[in-house]
Amino acid sequence: MAKWLPVIRITRRKAVVVPLVAISLVAVMSVMAIVIDGGLLMANRRKSQAVADAAALAAASDLYLNYANNQGLDLNGTAAASARATAADNGVANGVNGAKVIVLIPPKTGPYTGLPGYAEVTVNTQQPRYFSGIFGTGNLPLYARAVARGTLSPKANGLIILDPTGSNDLTTTNSANITVVGGNIIVDSSDPKGGTISNTGNITADAIYFTGNPGYFSSGSGSFKGTLYSSQSPTPDPLASLPPPPLPVDTYTNVNISGLPKLGGGVPGFPTPGDPNGWTLPPGNYSGGIQISDNNASHTYTLQSGTFYFTNGGFNLTANAAVTSDPNGVLMYFHDGGGLSMTAGGPVTLNPLKTGPYANITMYQDRSNSFQDSITGQTTGSLNITGTVYLPAAKLTLTGSGADYSIGSQYIVYQLVCTGSGNFNVVYNAPLTPPNRDLYLVE
């Protein structure tokens, strides 16, 4: 008996897999283009921006270093050359692989157009296509732009109080007055009573800016005079980047002067030429400080031009003799162990250095030295100090005896107390104060 086998019918299906795969590949390639090409594009965009930022800052640094001579202009092309060199050092050289590094000094676009002291840098590069080639041909362009500032600019801040939180950081007691002539006062403290008056004295300036709210308080009849601003952003220390001066080679130890010195004695220096009652002290490292207690009003002590570097001590004046600085000025730098303690029974005239990195700074107390300084003016003497007094970590006490005292062109101190009955004047004078160092990106 024969067996019948089942019949298997083979049905041909239409070819739909290949089109589906082709369509899917387009989607997969699109995702790959977004992930890979897009990721590379973002990474290279960040790199281009970093290059533009670095190049703009390099140009601004050159403008800053040459600002005194060029006033923010790139007269010799060194700023632009520095920007291009910096871009090349960071992997983007002008004219290589289609890259363009364009340096414009001053800028020609944006809010700083035409302003000296600013540098504009644009960086144009190209990224090859990979998976995104399915969408088009040619390289993908990248663009980055940065603007940096490099200037030395005076700001009319005659008195800056740096303590960020304390109360009574700027205060007058009794009938003492503190006045900034031709400038402003800044009180950085966030305390509601950062500035205070406790009697009849006044604190006067063109404008007074308080970080605290309101930042000022008076418990007596004295007042704050000028335009008052509360809740202001604190002002950074404008000399924060200024390094300490180098330690001088010549060292003198425990210099104590109670009478006119003689050659060959224990006091360094020499008789002042043309003045039989004068003595000139040389600059140098004064270990243990200088103490002057000569009460002979006919004697004059001159500080020769240079840096008076104080270690393990400071400058202590309790005398009726006159003290003056060389016409080319001095820098008194208090490193440690002391600071300024001055009772001026005789005339005191101090001027800052005229040239160099410490130009226009008369006194500079190290940022780690919190020795409390004092200046006391007598009615029989006179104070005539110019330049900046920079005591960033120290409290300064001013004590007067009913006279007018000119105590400097600018004060930058941690705290300041004015007491007694004197009138202390900070006569702000931009040419006699160090300019603000402005070096940063603005766009």
User: Which amino acid type is present at position 171?
Assistant: T
Cα angle: 103, vertex 109, 114; to 5 degrees: 80
pTM, entire model: 0.72
DSSP string, 76-123: TSHHHHHHHHHHHHTT--TTSTT-EEEEESS-SSSTTTT-TTEEEEEE
H or E segment and range at residue 88: helix 78-89
Q: Could you tell me what percentage of the chain is helix, strand and coil, using 3-state DSSP and rounding each to the nearest 5?
A: 15, 40, 45
Residues 6+ apart with CB under 8 A from 443: 110, 111, 112, 120, 145, 146, 147
Tens-digit pLDDT string for the chain (443 aa): 555 666 666 666 555 666 666 666 655 655 655 555 556 667 667 888 898 999 999 999 999 889 878 888 999 999 999 999 999 999 889 888 888 999 999 999 998 999 899 999 998 987 766 555 555 565 667 888 999 999 877 678 999 999 999 999 999 999 999 999 999 999 999 999 999 999 999 999 999 999 999 999 999 999 999 999 999 989 889 899 899 999 999 999 999 999 999 998 899 999 999 999 999 999 999 999 999 999 999 999 999 999 999 999 999 999 999 999 999 999 999 999 999 999 988 999 999 999 999 999 999 999 999 999 999 988 777 899 999 999 999 999 999 988 899 999 999 999 999 999 999 999 998 777 877 778 888 88
**Scanning the structure block, which residue is given the tokens 């063109």?**
206
Angle subtended at Cα 149 by Cα 148 and Cα 150, rounded to the nearest 5 degrees: 125
Q: Return the number of other C-beta atoms located less than 10 Å from residue 397's C-beta.
A: 16
Neighbouring residues of 224: CB distance < 8 A, sequence distance ≥ 6: 195, 197, 202, 203, 204, 208, 216, 218
Q: Which residue in this structure is represented by tokens 């970093």? A: 50
Identify the residue whose tokens are 């020795």.
Answer: 371
